[in-house]
Amino acid sequence: MSIVEQLKNSEVVGFRQHFHAYPELSNSEEKTAEYIVKFLSNFEGLEFAKGVAGHGVVVDINAPGATKTLLMRADMDALPIEEKNNVTYKSRNKGIMHACGHDAHMAILMGVIKSLMAQADKLKVNVRFVFQPAEEGGGGAANMIKAGVLGDNVVAAIALHMFPDIPCGMIGLKKGAIMASVDEFVLTMNGVGGHGATPEKTSVLPYVASQVVNGLYSMVPRKFAPTENSLLSVTSIDCKSSNNVMPTECVIEGSMRNFTNYARDLMPVYAEQFVGCTCAGLDVDYKFDVARLYPPLINNGAMVDELEKVVHKMAKPYYLDAPLMISEDFAFFAEYVPSVFALLGCGNKAKGINKPLHSDEFNIDEDSLDIGVKMLVQFALNFK
């Protein structure tokens, strides 16, 4: 029996259920980090650092004579969601839930550490494990990189993400773009307010807002080829008024998602050009602010090929036909080193496990944890 097979799946399940029961929000993962550090302290000679970029934990397993390092990453933070699942490990922290699988990501990485510590002499490269805080919009990956986790010797990176749309026993793979970039915009328009009975004396900002929204939605197919799969979404319109008052301010918010940096850079430029022309023509002042969040997540083709070899031995590949519009800050690691991001199938309709990510009823088929551990262990042992 191999070392990988000797690792009890129940132990990794226990790690996951502990994290699930005690979730913490972005940049508040103090207890989560303490639990990880306590686990790491059981291994004599294991090198690790805590308090990296907040509550991050970085672990190194060194191979004899190796000069290259493979990075494996798991995110730590939970979401501000009140859990509805009726399970023994239901969240004990009110209004906070691991609804995106980060509890499983950490548990899997802990299982990988335990397995590789028992066979470090078989490694051809060093392996660095990054437990990263603040993935859910908190800038965690970028902050970890700024803190130096890539160092001089990290040559590649890998991460998994639980994915309930894919059945347990399958691994989602795709070369090139696998997830979109995401940027957010806030458009603030100011004009003349007044009585609803005399719109001719006002800027009629609700009308201006309707023209802007229609224009923004028509801009994407006019400026971007269908093959770009670019998306602009208006998610909020707030004119801060009542039924007989024309407002003096209207705020429109939304997001922009793209699969190439070319489209990502151009979309806010085109959007502001349209907004500027519309507001100028209707004599309205405006301010257009864009917050650049995550770049597109691009999988390196050679890294996908290497992972695919492992997948065929312990699961079934699930080849994605198209990239996903959701975003992931592992994309920052992929900008620096060749990387692969895979989707670990965790759905099981027969068990009633089919709720989407970020749902208050999200859960996983815990048989997927064992697959995740074995896959990452074998990938590390193969890597050179």
What are the structural domains, with CATH classification, of the chain? Answer: 3-180+296-382 (3.40.630.10), 182-294 (3.30.70.360)
Mean pLDDT of successive 10-residue segments in the chain (384 residues)?
53 98 98 98 96 98 96 98 98 98 98 97 98 94 98 97 98 98 98 97 97 97 95 97 96 98 98 97 97 97 98 96 97 98 98 97 98 98 97
Phi, psi of 76 (to 5 degrees): -115, -25
Amino acid at 229: N
Residues 6+ apart with CB under 8 A from 38: none
- Residue labelled with tokens 């302290």: 41
Q: Is 135 exposed, middle or buried (0-12, 13-18, 19+ CB in 10 A)?
A: buried
Full strand arrangement of the beta sheet holding 339-347: 47-52, 56-61, 126-132, 69-75, 154-167, 339-347, 170-173, 316-319
The alpha helices in the chain, defined as continuous H runs, are 3-6, 9-21, 30-40, 102-117, 140-146, 205-223, 261-281, 301-314, 331-336, 367-382
Question: How far is Cα of residue 73 from the mean position of the Cα atoms in its chain?
Answer: 12
Instruction: Kindly list the distances between the CA atom of residue 293 and the CA atoms of 50, 339, 340, in Å, as whole numbers in the listed order.
Output: 25, 19, 20
Residues counted in the chain? 384
What is the spatial distance between Cα 190 and Cα 271, in angstroms, rounded to a whole number? 18
What is the spatial distance between Cα 304 and Cα 175, in angstroms, rounded to a whole number? 6
pLDDT at 1: 38
Rg (CA), the chain: 24
